A = this chain, B = another copy of it.
Amino acid sequence: MAVMRLGYLHARVTNLAEAKRHYVNTLGMQVVLEQDNRLYLKCWDEWDHHSLMLEEGGVGLIKLGYKVAKAEDLAYFEQKIEAFGVRTTRMSAGENLAVGEGIRFTMPSGHLMELYHEMEFTNTAVGLVNPPLFPRHLVGVGVPRLDHCLLKTDDIPLAERFCIEALDFKPAERLVSELGDTGELMGTWLFCQHKTHDIAFVAGEQGRIHHWAYKLENWDAIRHAGAILSMDDTSVGFGPDIHGLSRGDTIYFFDPAGNRNEVFAGGYETYQDFPTVTWTADEIPRAVSYIGREIAENHFTVDT
């Protein structure tokens, strides 16, 4: 019984052609399907049908799809989510293109989430028999895989408690105003299986998203990504740098609609017995930007 990963993310973009240029030409995602003002995309190392759906009109998050390990996990989580006091509805196979049945609910943080177990298998770009290390002809950054998202909420403790109690997530790292009982929770980074984090929350308006992230191979891939982003005139938020919180190498940047993306590498592996790490507010500079310790203002103010 477990949530496995962020499987798909639906977002709005102001202009689909511009978005396509960004996600396909610059980031190197592959177009799975384009129809009715919707663009379905996947990364080269993902085996499911798609991981990103972009819809023209506006900006920001539409919904998140997290994939569970077993068919029976749907009923298991449905019960736990309802027990937490959150209404769920059943979704039918096909309501989302290529996705099986599942459950749908709005998290206490105001974000629409779907849990599902099946998505059409369309294989990675390298295949399953004697695969090459990576596709011989990668495009742009060549992102291998969708990784995690950081969401905003006006009640971080509630959002965290929901993920722990209803979804069996566990906090890998927590940011508090100070140590001890009077410390206020300012952010939480949670994992469901083994990632450094699969979902995270910081303070802000309900339902907003700070960024979604792609996992790259290492610090050199971050450098290469940064060079491509600059060549393609992509707006960079900040980076490259290392997060003290997660040990992840990072660059933040914006798609043409203003949605923030991240390329992320490194970070440690988590397990069910991972001992939660605590960061205190006075160490936010190192937590966010370990080397530079200067964080661009936009990082705290811009979301979609």
Contact = CB atoms under 8 A, between A and B. Distances in A.
A273 to B, nearest CB: 7
Interface in A117-149: 121, 123-124, 128-134, 136, 145
A236 interface: yes
Interface string A41-70: 000010100000000000000000001011
B128 A290 contact: no
A194 to B, nearest CB: 3
A5 B271 contact: yes
A234 to B, nearest CB: 10
B244 A47 contact: no
A5 B228 CA distance: 31
Interface residues of A, number: 68
B269 A194 contact: yes
Contacts of A277: 128-129, 131
Contact of A128 (B240, B268, B272, B278): B278
Nearest to A221: B220
Interface in A218-262: 218-220, 223, 226-231, 236, 238-242, 244, 247, 249, 251
Interface in A195-220: 195, 215, 217-220
Contacts of A272: 2, 4, 69-70
Interface string A1-22: 0101100000000000000000
Interface stretch (A76-84, A91-99, A279-287): A279-287
A158 interface: no
B240 A227 contact: no
A276 interface: yes
A273 B4 contact: yes
A242 B227 contact: yes
A227 B134 CA distance: 8
Nearest to A45: B268
Contact of A275 (B128, B240, B251, B290): B128
Contacts of A134: 227
Contact of A244 (B131, B251, B276, B290): B131
Contacts of A45: 268
A101 B227 CA distance: 40
25 contacts: A4-B271, A47-B273, A67-B271, A69-B271, A69-B272, A69-B273, A124-B275, A129-B179, A129-B277, A129-B280, A130-B286, A130-B287, A133-B227, A193-B194, A218-B218, A219-B219, A219-B223, A223-B249, A226-B241, A227-B291, A236-B293, A236-B294, A239-B291, A239-B292, A251-B291
